[in-house]
Amino acid sequence: MPTVFTSLEDDEFNRLFREFRYTVFRLESRQHYRVSYEKDEFARFLTGESRGEFPGISGWISGTVEPARRAGKYMHRVHIVEEPLSDYVRFECAWAYEHTVPAGEHVRIIPVEKGLWPDDLPQREYWLFDSEVLVAMNYGDDGTFHSAEIVEDADEIVLANRWRDAAVLKSVPYQEFAERYDALFVEQK
């Protein structure tokens, strides 16, 4: 029976981020996530408030990204984003990626026109640890997190590695993408 995590705060799930040896990769395909640790911040972003303290991202940086970087580990993600950008993607760029990238997380973006998804990439979400531990991320249509599940099928793991490679090849570094949207990502003062 596969291991299923029903909370992003599950100790066993978070252990994967502490104990990976070399690389961790995330494929993101959603245009909106509804997770509790950023609800208040997203609401503030929508009203034009300044970023201020963002505990969810601060904890991610200090507890995961920076220790991995210091240990010589490589953390990267590719987010496939539809244009025009959703409010949530603008928020994620301005209030998360603008801070996680300088901390050492390698973020890449695949911009696509709405309705024109890349043929060789899924509209699925996953984490891939050391190219061998695959965790499928399951969300509802509204972006609510449902569960994360360790996938043990070898063919699925190989496929996730192929998707990772294709996504990296098709993507641009976050900073290059962000230059196109400076006005949308500038923090309100």
Specify the pLDDT at position 36.
84
Q: Which class would CATH give 4-185?
A: alpha beta
Give the residue, 135 or 54, on which the prediction is more confident: 135
For the chain, the average pLDDT equals: 93
Q: How many helices (H) and strands (E) does the chain have?
A: 9, 8
The answer to whether the CB of 28 falls within 8 A of the CB of 77 is yes
pLDDT digits (tens, 9 = 90+) for 77-103: 999 999 999 999 999 999 999 999 999
DSSP 38: G
- Domain boundaries in the chain? 4-185
Question: What pTM was estimated for this model as a whole?
Answer: 0.93
Phi, psi values for residue 3, rounded to 5° = -80, 130
